């Protein structure tokens, strides 16, 4: 059976060009970048080139890019650094109720250590507003952390005004750009952001590698101690092939951004149009300001979205019922619950996330199969 992969918010296929760029660093140039012989020097050069490419793709300087093991570490590290840096200013942190668990769980940990955390509540489309931030930000707020694009419902945010309000109170601003990087144009200078987290496997790079942008002169505070790699800020031998693959993937994504954006938006809107003809279907997230390849729905009366995901899987269609890390959980989505989808409805969710490798024909087939299965499941549960 030919399978259709449409779970690109969970992870993406590695771009052949990124894979080809990585291969020499597994078997030929496999040196440790800290070593001073030729193997080490070649690895160090490759790492520097990768850092440069990532920096250029984000409008940053290469000294502002730190490699990590992925989005979760970058996000944890950004919050940790802000907490360390802000010690004399205060212990108040602001975020939103729709963040990824990488943010919310780290904030919960800080809360247990005496930090105060305030979460902005979104509206039904997953949007939060600068006025909400202006109302609650305080002199002792040290950090505002808000995602650029939501992984569950696809809603994207314009963060400029949030950054301005945060800086007026001398609070740092971090964004979890894990779902946005490579899909939306990103410029750290235009955003005037202090920290930004990305993860390679969300934009056709390899898994297990990411980056944290930290605006100089604020060095991130070391959360992992050891041999002092990454200028003493993040110990551990660097993942050279990973960084090389990520840099190529990001560069390609930025180069093709406009073309991919237009094509994916068209396919996404066709999918939404077709799926909304299904009985009791509702689009979740902002219909306009959303990730180009992201379509998410709730269907009343289907029970947990996993029921539908399993039926589609029998057809060879691979989609998800929400965030990959909670795909097997019986609980509803905390994102949908925060947006006001009550009880069971926060569980009846389906997410289709497309990439540059999908075709319109695939998208129409996905929609047809959703339209086939949903009434069947609804009927069986009556
Ligand atoms: N933040 C968001 C918005 C995500 O969607 C994810 C992964 O799904 C992460 C953070 C964590 O990234 P990683 O899987 O690279 O640890």
Q: Which two tokens stand for residue 364?
A: 């129409």
**Residue 190's pLDDT band (cuts 50, 70, 90):** very high
| pLDDT in the model for residue 197 | 98
CA–CA dist 311, 301 (Å, integer): 15
CB 319 within 8 A of CB 310: no
176 lines ligand 1 (CB under 6 A): yes
Q: How many helices (H) and strands (E) does the chain have?
A: 13, 12
Question: Alpha-carbon distance 19 to 163, whole Å?
Answer: 36
Q: Which residues are part of the catalytic machinery? A: 325
How many angstroms is it from 245 CA to the middle of ligand 1?
18
| Cβ of 72 less than 6 Å from ligand 1 | yes
- Half-sphere exposure at residue 272, Cβ-oriented, CA atoms within 13 angstroms: 25
Q: Could you count the other beta carbons within 10 Å of the beta carbon of residue 382?
A: 5
Of 7, 9, 10, 72, the one to substitute when testing ligand 1's pocket (max ligand atoms within 8 A of C-beta) is 72
Binned at pLDDT 50, 70 and 90, residue 180 comes out as very high
Q: Which of the listed residues 102, 148, 195, 323 should we mutate to test ligand 1's pocket, taking the one with most ligand atoms within 8 A of CB?
A: 102
This prediction's pTM: 0.97
Quote the ligand 1 centre to 85 CA distance (angstroms): 24
Report pLDDT digits (tens) over 337-358: 999 998 888 888 999 999 999 9
């Amino acid at each position: 059976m030919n399978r259709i992969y449409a779970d690109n918010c969970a992870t993406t296929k590695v771009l052949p060009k990124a894979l080809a760029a990585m291969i020499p660093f597994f078997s030929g140039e496999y040196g440790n970048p800290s070593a001073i012989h030729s193997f080490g020097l070649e690895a160090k050069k490759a790492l520097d080139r990768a850092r440069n490419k990532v920096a250029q793709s984000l409008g940053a300087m290469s000294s502002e890019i730190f490699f990590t093991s992925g989005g979760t570490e970058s996000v944890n590290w950004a919050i940790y650094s802000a907490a360390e840096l802000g010690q004399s200013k205060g212990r108040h942190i602001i975020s939103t109720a729709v963040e990824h668990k990488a943010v919310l769980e780290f904030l919960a940990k800080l809360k247990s250590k005496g930090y105060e955390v305030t979460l902005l509540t979104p509206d039904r489309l997953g949007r939060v507003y600068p006025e909400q931030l202006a109302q609650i930000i305080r002199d002792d707020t040290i950090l505002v952390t808000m995602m650029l694009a939501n992984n569950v419902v696809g809603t994207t945010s314009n963060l400029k005004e949030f950054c301005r309000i945060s800086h007026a109170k001398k609070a740092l601003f971090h964004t979890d750009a894990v779902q946005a990087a490579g899909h939306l144009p990103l410029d750290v200078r235009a955003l005037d952001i202090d920290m930004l987290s990305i993860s390679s496997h969300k934009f056709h790079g390899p898994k297990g590698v990411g980056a944290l942008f930290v605006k100089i002169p604020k060095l991130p505070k070391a959360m992992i101690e050891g041999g002092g790699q990454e200028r003493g800020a993040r110990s551990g031998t660097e993942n050279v092939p990973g960084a090389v693959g990520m840099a190529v993937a990001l560069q390609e994504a930025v180069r093709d951004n406009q073309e991919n954006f237009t094509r994916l938006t068209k396919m996404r809107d066709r999918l939404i149009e077709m799926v909304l003809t299904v009985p009791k279907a509702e689009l979740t997230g902002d219909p306009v300001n959303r990730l180009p390849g992201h379509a998410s729905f709730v269907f009343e009366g289907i029970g947990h979205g996993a029921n539908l995901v399993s039926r589609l899987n029998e057809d060879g269609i691979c989609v998800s019922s929400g965030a990959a890390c909670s795909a097997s959980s019986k609980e509803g989505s905390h994102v949908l619950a925060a947006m006001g989808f009550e009880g069971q409805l926060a569980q009846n969710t389906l997410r289709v996330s497309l990439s540059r490798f999908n075709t319109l024909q695939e998208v129409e087939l996905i929609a047809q199969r959703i339209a086939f299965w949903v009434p069947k499941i609804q009927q069986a549960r009556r």
